[in-house]
Amino acid sequence: MPLPELQRRALVQIENVHKTYIMGDSEVRALDGVTLDFDEGEFYSILGPSGSGKSTMLNLLGCLDRPTSGLFKMDGHDVSQMDDNQLSDLRLKRIGFIFQSFNLIPQLTVSENIALPLYYLEWDRQRSVERARELADRVGLGNRLGHRPLELSGGQQQRVAIARALANDPRIILADEPTGNLDSATGKQIMSLLSELNGQGKTIIMVTHEDEVAAHSNVRVHMRDGNVERIDRNA
Amino acid sequence: MHAFYLAWQYIRHNRIKSVLLVCGVTLTIVVPAAVFILVRFGEEWLMSRAASTPMVIGAKGSRVDLSLHALYFRSKAPAPIGMAEAAKLREAGLAIPVPLYGRFTARSFPIVGATLDYFDFRDLRVASGHQIAKLGDCVLGARVAQALALGAGDRLLSDSENVLDLSGAYPLNMRVTGVLAEERTEDDFAVFVDLKTAWVIAGLGHGHQDVSKADESVILDRTGNTVVANAALPEYTEITDENIGSFHFHGDPAGFPITALIALPRDEKSAVLLRGRYEQQDAAAQLVIPEDVVGEIMEMVFKAQRIFNYTVVCIAAATVLFLVLIISLSLRLRSTELQTLHKLGCSRHTMITLVGAELILIGGISSLFSAGALVLVLQLAPVLMRTFLA
């Protein structure tokens, strides 16, 4: 369940953000003066046609890129001033990623894939294994810890990816078309799992082009031509 | 999870690629190193034997053939000289003669006819069994015994020179009396017999049935004490205690052949005098200093090796470029995986550490294989050298 209105605070603040790419002689404005706050504990979906700026927005939110101009703050930190190492550190400690193609590491087991971020956080092996087991149980894959990704179904792989996204106990989970490679029944299960995580207090920002999938979120941000067209909130 | 654990998992998962990389790196290390080792070993092997053999006397002709024959029992046997040459040397008192007769083989290993002086000169020791005692005995070099699985008490048949030559000498069934201790020299690959046994193999000496007791069908003429038999009189191809008494030689022993005569000068002055004698125009034989001859051969080998070294440098550079290409293509193929790691919070430094760990593991495994291969090359160096020089 989302947090009550009075307790909400902006986890991500975006103010007049521009992101411009130079392509030869021409200039592409991927984001054109976006101003938007993402509150803690909410479940956001970002919708829009191709070229609307969804992916650029996700890259910025994931601290994979910096804005060309404007203010971008995450959890009070000014991201636009950070170098690569600081951005990596911020991602590692505060963000969990879920990808359309799951992006699991094929040579590692389920347990090792889930514990991967913990390796970068320099957790010891025993603690990492315990955390991976706990998260695998949470996504219903406690009996598959020793399996490799290719031995799992698409839905199970996405569950592993969700468990991996939770490993570092992030403040925010970014999901890029999380049901894009799944059949509708499995997609629903994954969305239920994300809703459950949101109910447990995780902030989720999901990029999708499917209204049915976006219906699981509380706030739907519609983008067009590099800017926010409208925001729909559940009543 | 440690960077090396992640790297090892990647290497295991991509077995074929990893094996190809390891093979490429291993070959790049092993080939030039093995050639270097073999050339150095060959130089030491050839030179040490040459340096320990002061002079060799033999028929006029190729100095190289004579040296290779006398030192390593290699090359076709040079034209023979007579035993008189050895006697002359002994009488002159300038050097100790060590005659060799090396025309035949037994199961492809050279049979070296020699006197016991040769064993003293080379300091060859019998490791099992005993030294040659009788006509028809032989002792085996350590590698021959190993290769043919023979030991004291076994029999070894000499090879026919030409199976189609009906008038040729019969093979001799020799008795193995002992095996020499391994010396890691060419002596390990030879079968040693007494000079007289070598002459028996050459057909200069033989044993046959007593003509006085022979069947009348083989007797051509009986005049007084003289009995003439035809070629049907059975000849022995094996020397036994029973028939050894019947073995005898025809002709003048001074004219019996030897293919090389190692000369051990008594002192420096004797050496100079000896060289002077054989440098005269009318000398029947030639005297060579093996160290000089082998030195000339090595000079040519080193020239060839210099060319090889340049080639190896070029090939190694090309291999390194190929490896860089393979690694960069591999990184491109892994871009999704690496991007995922980056998105999960892996810094560039950590990613470099991960890729570095993979390269260190590949390099480490290749180095281990290379070390193993080079140890093997060192172990097999005598056999390899012998094969290359054959």
Residue indicated by tokens 């100095």 = B63
Nearest CA of chain A to the CA of B367: how many Å?
25
CB contact under 8 A, A89 and B9: no
Residues paired with residue B156 on neighbouring β-strands, in sequence order: B174
For chain B, the domain total comes to 2
Measured over the CA atoms of residue B8, residue B12, residue B17 and residue B22, the dihedral's sign is positive
Among B13, B336, B344, the residue with its CB nearest the CB of A107 is B13
Nearest CA of chain B to the CA of A164: how many Å?
9
Whether the per-residue pLDDT at B243 is higher than 90: the answer is: no
pLDDT-derived band at A6, boundaries 50, 70, 90: very low
pLDDT, tens digit, 9 for 90 and up, residues B146-199: 999 999 999 999 988 766 666 666 788 899 999 999 988 889 999 999 999 999
Q: Is some CB atom of chain A closer than 8 A to the CB atom of B15?
A: no
Q: Is the CB of residue B168 less than 8 Å from the CB of residue B88?
A: no
Q: Is some CB atom of chain A closer than 8 A to the CB atom of B349?
A: yes
Q: CB-side exposure of A152: number of CA atoms within 13 Å?
A: 28
Class of domain A42-55+87-233: alpha beta
Q: Is the CB of residue A113 less than 8 Å from the CB of residue A131?
A: no
Q: Phi/psi zone of residue B381: left (φ > 0), alpha (ψ -120 to 50 degrees), beta?
A: alpha
Domain's final residue, options B242, B270, B288: B288
Full residue range of the structural domain in which residue B158 is found: 55-204+251-288
Residue indicated by tokens 């890729």 = B355
What is the signed CA dihedral for B308, B311, B315, B318, rounded to 10 degrees?
Answer: 160
pLDDT-derived band at B257, boundaries 50, 70, 90: very high
Q: Is the CB of residue B385 less than 8 Å from the CB of residue B48?
A: no
pLDDT-derived band at A152, boundaries 50, 70, 90: very high
Distance CA A42, CA A2 (A): 6
Q: Which of A47, A177, A193 is nearest to A102 (CA)?
A: A177
Q: Decide if B339 is inside a domain.
A: yes
Whether the per-residue pLDDT at A4 is higher than 60: the answer is: no
Higher pLDDT, B138 or B389: B138
The mean predicted confidence, pLDDT, of chain A is: 89
pLDDT (mean) for B34-40: 85
Nearest CA of chain B to the CA of A56: how many Å?
14
CB contact under 8 A, A119 and B13: no
Domain range summary for chain A, segments of one domain joined by +: 42-55+87-233
pLDDT on residue B125: 95
Q: How far are the Cα atoms of B25, B113, B190, B215, B286 from residue B105, in angstroms, in the given order?
A: 42, 11, 9, 34, 25
Chain B residues touching residue A119 (CB < 8 angstroms):
1-2, 6
Among B126-130, B162-166, B284-288, which range has the highest average pLDDT?
A: B126-130
Q: Which of B41, B321, B65, B310 is nearest to B185 (CA)?
A: B41
Nearest CA of chain A to the CA of B319: how many Å?
28
Residue of B nearest to A114 (CA): B344
Whether the per-residue pLDDT at B33 is higher than 70: the answer is: yes
Nearest CA of chain A to the CA of B32: how many Å?
35
Q: CB-side exposure of B384: number of CA atoms within 13 Å?
A: 15
pLDDT (mean) for A138-153: 91
Instruction: Enter the tokens of residue A92.
Output: 């590692």
pLDDT (mean) for B61-78: 87
Q: Decide if B66 is inside a domain.
A: yes
Residue indicated by tokens 């007494």 = B194
Residues paired with residue A223 on neighbouring β-strands, in sequence order: A228
Shared-domain flag, residues B281 and B304: no
Instruction: Enter the tokens of residue A61.
Output: 């939110």
Identify the weakest region by mean pLDDT among B16-30, B174-188, B222-236, B325-339. Answer: B222-236
Residue B329, judged by CB atoms within 10 A of its CB (0-12, 13-18, 19+), counts as: exposed
Q: Is the CB of residue A45 less than 8 Å from the CB of residue A217?
A: yes
Nearest CA of chain B to the CA of A97: how many Å?
7
Shared-domain flag, residues B310 and B269: no
Among B336, B345, B348, the residue with its CB nearest the CB of A120 is B345
Whether the per-residue pLDDT at B97 is higher than 70: the answer is: yes
CB contact under 8 A, A112 and B1: yes
Other CB atoms closer than 10 Å to residue A192's CB: what's the count? 11
Q: Which of residues 316-345 of B touch A (CB under 8 A)?
A: 336-337, 340-345
Shared-domain flag, residues B65 and B22: no
Among B6, B14, B347, the residue with its CB nearest the CB of A88 is B347
Residues paired with residue B318 on neighbouring β-strands, in sequence order: none
Q: How far are the Cα atoms of A82, A206, B68, B295 from residue B53, in angstroms, in the given order?
A: 79, 88, 12, 13
Chain pair A-B, CB pairs under 8 angstroms: 61
Q: Is some CB atom of chain A closer than 8 A to the CB atom of B104?
A: no
Residues paired with residue B226 on neighbouring β-strands, in sequence order: B223
What is the signed CA dihedral for A127, A133, A138, A143, rounded to 10 degrees?
Answer: 180
Distance CA A196, CA B347 (A): 31
DSSP B298-326: HHHHHHHHHHHHHHHHHHHHHHHHHHHHH
pLDDT, tens digit, 9 for 90 and up, residues A163-172: 999 999 898 9
Q: Decide if B115 is inside a domain.
A: yes
Domain's final residue, options B270, B288, B306: B288
pLDDT on residue A37: 92
ipTM above threshold 0.85: no
Domain's final residue, options B267, B288, B309: B288
Rg of chain A on CA atoms, in Å: 18
CB contact under 8 A, B343 and A93: no
pLDDT on residue B253: 83
CB contact under 8 A, B344 and A108: no
Distance CA A123, CA A229 (A): 43
Distance CA B329, CA B158 (A): 61
Shared-domain flag, residues B140 and B178: yes
- What are φ and ψ of residue B174, in 5° steps? -90, 155
Among A91, A97, A105, the residue with its CB nearest the CB of B337 is A105
For residue B59, give every residue at least 6 positions away whose Cβ sits within 8 Å of its Cβ, in sequence order, or none.
B66, B78, B79, B80, B81, B285, B286
Shared-domain flag, residues B29 and B69: no
Chain B residues touching residue A107 (CB < 8 angstroms):
9-10, 12-14
Shared-domain flag, residues B11 and B93: no
Shared-domain flag, residues B266 and B358: no
